Amino acid sequence: MHNLEELEKKTDQELVELAKDDQEMFGALMARYQGPLFHYVKRISQLGNDDIEDLLQEIFVKAYLNLNSYDPTLKFSSWIYRISHNHVVDNFRRIAARPKMVSSEDDSWMRIAKVDTDLENELADKECAKKIKEAIENLPLKYKEALVLRFVEDKDYEEIMDILQKPKGTVATLIARGKRLIEKDIKKKGIKFF
């Protein structure tokens, strides 16, 4: 029997090995990834909290059922994010409609817009922030998820490559094009760059 403190000290790979023999151990992995995956799914899906909780349950079930296929040479985080990515995309296909953004208080979107632009003064203006957020929300999913993974989830290129299953050049292109689309959209909306 493991206590909570012992489990928190274990690596993801150690927990995976324990979870293969004892499904209770998978709960420690779920606890570790519940928050980060919730925020990731929310940002790329724009669903409400209840729908995200439902998706997370499905994601964790899928991950548990496929635990034996996990390749320990990869980061577990990349593997679980990939499952999450695929599940969200599958969900989009099922509902065949783009859901609307629920929360307007989340300022993490601003980190994407601030990366290569000097918008500090403009971002103080809530109307400006709203326009930037709309530009990000309206991006095609492939650009939005690459930007969210890089600038909101702080994933490095290697992890993004694993999650999206795309080569490094494609990841870099998705990020660069996504940022250009945001810049073009917010310039069209009258936001000036300094």
Give the Å distances, CA to CA, from 153 to 35, 41, 54, 106, 193.
11, 11, 21, 14, 25
Looking at domain 109-188, does it have CATH number 1.10.10.10? yes
Contact 133, 192 (CB under 8 A): no
Pull the structure tokens for residue 90. Answer: 């599958």
Give residue limits of the domains in the chain. 4-95, 109-188
Residue 119 has pLDDT above 70, yes or no: no
Instruction: Give me the sign of the Cα torsion angle 182, 183, 189, 191.
Output: positive
pLDDT tens digits, residue range 38-60?
999 998 888 889 999 999 999 99
So what CATH class is 4-95? mainly alpha
Average pLDDT over residues 104-128: 54
Widest distance between CA atoms in the chain: 61
